[in-house]
Structure 1
Amino acid sequence: MVSLTPEDKSRVRFHLNYSALDSIPDGDAMRLETAMDRIRDNSTANYIRFMLDALDDIFNNLMTGETFDSRQLIQGKCCPLA
Protein backbone atom coordinates (compact mmCIF):
# COMPACT_ATOMS: atom_id res chain seq x y z
CA MET A 1 0.00 0.00 0.00
CA VAL A 2 1.05 3.56 -0.75
CA SER A 3 0.29 6.71 1.20
CA LEU A 4 -0.19 10.20 -0.19
CA THR A 5 2.40 12.78 0.84
CA PRO A 6 1.39 15.28 3.55
CA GLU A 7 1.21 17.99 0.86
CA ASP A 8 -1.11 15.89 -1.32
CA LYS A 9 -3.27 15.04 1.70
CA SER A 10 -3.61 18.75 2.41
CA ARG A 11 -4.65 19.39 -1.21
CA VAL A 12 -7.28 16.63 -1.00
CA ARG A 13 -8.71 18.13 2.20
CA PHE A 14 -8.75 21.59 0.60
CA HIS A 15 -10.58 20.55 -2.57
CA LEU A 16 -13.10 18.48 -0.59
CA ASN A 17 -13.51 21.37 1.87
CA TYR A 18 -12.44 19.04 4.68
CA SER A 19 -10.05 21.70 5.97
CA ALA A 20 -12.91 23.01 8.12
CA LEU A 21 -13.13 19.84 10.20
CA ASP A 22 -15.69 21.41 12.54
CA SER A 23 -18.45 20.72 10.02
CA ILE A 24 -17.29 17.23 8.96
CA PRO A 25 -18.54 14.22 10.95
CA ASP A 26 -15.70 12.43 12.74
CA GLY A 27 -16.37 9.15 10.95
CA ASP A 28 -16.13 10.79 7.52
CA ALA A 29 -12.88 12.55 8.37
CA MET A 30 -11.43 9.29 9.71
CA ARG A 31 -12.43 7.37 6.56
CA LEU A 32 -10.79 10.00 4.36
CA GLU A 33 -7.55 9.90 6.38
CA THR A 34 -7.53 6.09 6.26
CA ALA A 35 -8.16 6.08 2.50
CA MET A 36 -5.31 8.54 1.89
CA ASP A 37 -2.97 6.24 3.84
CA ARG A 38 -4.05 3.09 2.00
CA ILE A 39 -3.74 3.81 -1.73
CA ARG A 40 -3.46 0.46 -3.50
CA ASP A 41 -0.48 1.21 -5.79
CA ASN A 42 1.73 3.91 -7.26
CA SER A 43 -0.26 4.28 -10.48
CA THR A 44 -3.41 5.07 -8.47
CA ALA A 45 -1.46 7.59 -6.37
CA ASN A 46 -0.11 9.17 -9.57
CA TYR A 47 -3.63 9.44 -10.96
CA ILE A 48 -4.79 11.14 -7.75
CA ARG A 49 -1.89 13.61 -8.05
CA PHE A 50 -2.81 14.26 -11.69
CA MET A 51 -6.39 15.06 -10.69
CA LEU A 52 -5.20 17.27 -7.81
CA ASP A 53 -2.99 19.21 -10.25
CA ALA A 54 -5.99 19.74 -12.55
CA LEU A 55 -8.11 20.91 -9.60
CA ASP A 56 -5.34 23.29 -8.52
CA ASP A 57 -5.20 24.75 -12.04
CA ILE A 58 -8.96 25.23 -12.15
CA PHE A 59 -9.02 26.83 -8.69
CA ASN A 60 -6.16 29.19 -9.51
CA ASN A 61 -7.81 30.28 -12.75
CA LEU A 62 -11.10 30.91 -10.97
CA MET A 63 -9.36 32.96 -8.28
CA THR A 64 -7.65 35.17 -10.86
CA GLY A 65 -10.97 35.85 -12.58
CA GLU A 66 -9.81 34.44 -15.89
CA THR A 67 -12.41 32.85 -18.11
CA PHE A 68 -11.49 29.49 -19.52
CA ASP A 69 -12.83 26.40 -21.14
CA SER A 70 -12.06 23.36 -18.99
CA ARG A 71 -10.88 21.50 -22.10
CA GLN A 72 -8.38 24.26 -22.82
CA LEU A 73 -7.23 24.31 -19.20
CA ILE A 74 -5.93 20.76 -19.26
CA GLN A 75 -4.99 20.67 -22.93
CA GLY A 76 -1.58 19.11 -23.37
CA LYS A 77 -1.78 17.20 -20.11
CA CYS A 78 -1.98 13.45 -20.35
CA CYS A 79 -3.74 11.30 -17.84
CA PRO A 80 -1.14 8.85 -16.44
CA LEU A 81 -3.57 5.92 -16.63
CA ALA A 82 -4.81 6.60 -20.16
Structure 2
Amino acid sequence: MLVIPVVVTDNNGMLTARVDYPENRTFQNEYVYFPVLVTLNLKTVLTGMQLTTGAFEFKLEGARGEKFYVVHRIFYPAF
Protein backbone atom coordinates (compact mmCIF):
# COMPACT_ATOMS: atom_id res chain seq x y z
CA MET A 1 0.00 0.00 0.00
CA LEU A 2 1.22 3.49 -0.86
CA VAL A 3 0.40 6.26 1.63
CA ILE A 4 0.37 9.76 0.15
CA PRO A 5 -0.08 12.66 2.59
CA VAL A 6 -2.40 15.53 1.64
CA VAL A 7 -1.99 18.80 3.57
CA VAL A 8 -5.16 20.93 3.65
CA THR A 9 -4.78 24.59 4.59
CA ASP A 10 -7.57 27.04 5.46
CA ASN A 11 -6.67 30.48 4.11
CA ASN A 12 -9.51 32.73 5.35
CA GLY A 13 -12.19 30.25 4.29
CA MET A 14 -10.47 29.21 1.03
CA LEU A 15 -9.25 25.64 1.36
CA THR A 16 -6.19 24.51 -0.56
CA ALA A 17 -4.71 21.02 -0.74
CA ARG A 18 -1.08 20.10 -1.31
CA VAL A 19 -0.17 16.52 -2.13
CA ASP A 20 3.26 15.34 -1.01
CA TYR A 21 4.07 12.53 -3.46
CA PRO A 22 6.96 10.25 -2.59
CA GLU A 23 9.99 10.75 -4.84
CA ASN A 24 9.49 9.44 -8.40
CA ARG A 25 5.82 8.60 -7.78
CA THR A 26 2.78 10.11 -9.47
CA PHE A 27 -0.92 9.37 -9.28
CA GLN A 28 -3.06 9.30 -12.40
CA ASN A 29 -6.82 9.03 -12.04
CA GLU A 30 -8.77 7.98 -15.10
CA TYR A 31 -12.52 7.98 -15.58
CA VAL A 32 -14.25 6.56 -18.62
CA TYR A 33 -17.84 7.59 -19.17
CA PHE A 34 -20.35 6.02 -21.48
CA PRO A 35 -22.42 8.17 -23.86
CA VAL A 36 -26.13 8.41 -23.16
CA LEU A 37 -29.08 9.49 -25.28
CA VAL A 38 -31.39 12.10 -23.80
CA THR A 39 -34.64 13.46 -25.19
CA LEU A 40 -35.46 17.00 -24.10
CA ASN A 41 -39.02 18.19 -24.54
CA LEU A 42 -38.97 21.98 -24.44
CA LYS A 43 -41.57 24.66 -25.00
CA THR A 44 -40.91 28.27 -25.99
CA VAL A 45 -42.97 30.81 -24.06
CA LEU A 46 -42.59 34.45 -25.03
CA THR A 47 -44.33 37.30 -23.23
CA GLY A 48 -44.37 40.90 -24.36
CA MET A 49 -43.54 40.58 -28.06
CA GLN A 50 -44.60 38.80 -31.24
CA LEU A 51 -42.69 35.71 -32.34
CA THR A 52 -40.90 36.39 -35.61
CA THR A 53 -39.05 34.12 -38.00
CA GLY A 54 -35.39 33.66 -37.10
CA ALA A 55 -35.60 35.79 -33.94
CA PHE A 56 -34.18 33.14 -31.62
CA GLU A 57 -31.41 30.57 -31.53
CA PHE A 58 -31.33 27.80 -28.94
CA LYS A 59 -28.08 26.09 -27.98
CA LEU A 60 -27.26 23.07 -25.89
CA GLU A 61 -23.70 23.47 -24.62
CA GLY A 62 -21.38 21.50 -22.41
CA ALA A 63 -19.79 22.73 -19.20
CA ARG A 64 -16.72 23.92 -21.15
CA GLY A 65 -18.78 25.69 -23.83
CA GLU A 66 -18.67 22.97 -26.49
CA LYS A 67 -21.76 23.11 -28.67
CA PHE A 68 -23.81 19.93 -28.89
CA TYR A 69 -26.90 21.18 -30.69
CA VAL A 70 -28.09 24.46 -32.18
CA VAL A 71 -31.67 25.14 -33.28
CA HIS A 72 -32.64 28.15 -35.35
CA ARG A 73 -36.38 28.71 -35.22
CA ILE A 74 -37.36 29.32 -38.83
CA PHE A 75 -41.14 29.05 -38.75
CA TYR A 76 -43.70 29.89 -36.10
CA PRO A 77 -47.22 28.54 -36.58
CA ALA A 78 -50.17 30.90 -36.22
CA PHE A 79 -51.84 30.67 -32.82
TM range (shorter): under 0.3
Q: Which has the higher contact order (CA 8 A, sep 6+)?
A: 1
Larger Rg: 2
TM-score, length basis structure 2:
0.24
Greater per-residue helix proportion? 1
Greater per-residue strand proportion? 2
TM-score, length basis structure 1:
0.23
